[in-house]
Amino acid sequence: MLKFIILFCCISLAASAPTQFVNSVKENPQCSLWNTAMVYFECSDMVHDFVSTLQEYTGKVLNPDSYKKLDSQCDETLECLNARNCEDGLGIKKIVERNCNALRYKYSPYVPCMKSFFLNVYRAQYSFQEWCFHYYSFLDKNMTKRYEAFVEGKYCFMNFVKNNCPAGSIEEFTKIYDRFSKDISTESTSKECSESHDFLHTTYCKSLLDQKTKSSMCKYVNCLKDTCHRDESFVQEIEKICEE
């Protein structure tokens, strides 16, 4: 009986957003109101459990065990929502994806490892020390070249992680490397600053704040201007200081 009520609510929700639903059907001719409702009927428990767990950790940097639990729920929930590819019109998949992006690239216990990598790549540009970073354009503004750098320079990246990051890091980056390479090399199209590239580029920018100096702060805000961010007023104030 409970699942029937949930199913009825799903159908009602779909009917209340006809424009989005019609657009979804145009993009996916095989979709129907019934199919869309069934996706939510099948996935509602997973979505509820994922959101509930996420709320427990909102705003916190996760420890490895908590991260592993949420990451697994992310994958399972998205796998369920992807099953029929009919849910985009209602936006639930996009909401879950945004939260998964934040989980992996903002609250992950491996973010400090990413920051350390980015900082060392940046410093290598001005160093004569023999590093593998010199051979790959990990920070190239041309996203195609950047992607090629991460594909061809995988060993360089993994070797850095192995020697400089906490236990468990090499296993995590081995698992996500293909997705990570694409995410950092795919420009954001969102105005909400919630896509994977936004989080990753912001992490890179924060890595430049290695010292509490005016020069460091100016490098940070110049970096932020290349991506979607929510600190516009802050950036403008720092730019004024940098111009002095």
Task: Return the structure tokens found at 119.
Answer: 């900082």
- DSSP labels, 8-66: HHHHHHHHT-HHHHHHHHHH-TT--HHHHHHHHHHHHHHHHHHHHHHHHHTTSPPPHHH
Name which of 13-27, 45-59, 110-124 the model is least confident about.
Answer: 13-27
- pLDDT tens-place string over residues 144-172: 999 999 999 999 999 999 999 988 899 98
Average pLDDT, the chain: 77
At CB < 8 A and 24+ separation, what contacts does 101-104 make? 101/194, 101/195, 101/196, 101/199, 102/194, 102/199, 103/54, 103/62, 103/67, 103/70, 103/71, 103/74, 104/71, 104/74, 104/176, 104/196, 104/199
More confident call, 188 vs 24: 188
Q: How many CB atoms lie within 10 A of CB 216?
A: 12
Query: What pTM was estimated for this model as a whole?
Result: 0.73
**Tens-digit pLDDT profile for residues 174-226:** 989 999 999 999 887 777 777 888 888 888 888 888 766 778 888 888 887 77
- What is the gyration radius of the CA atoms in the chain, in angstroms? 21
Collapsing DSSP states into helix, strand and coil, what is residue 230? coil
- Annotated domain spans of the chain: 2-105, 111-243
> What's residue 36's pLDDT?
62
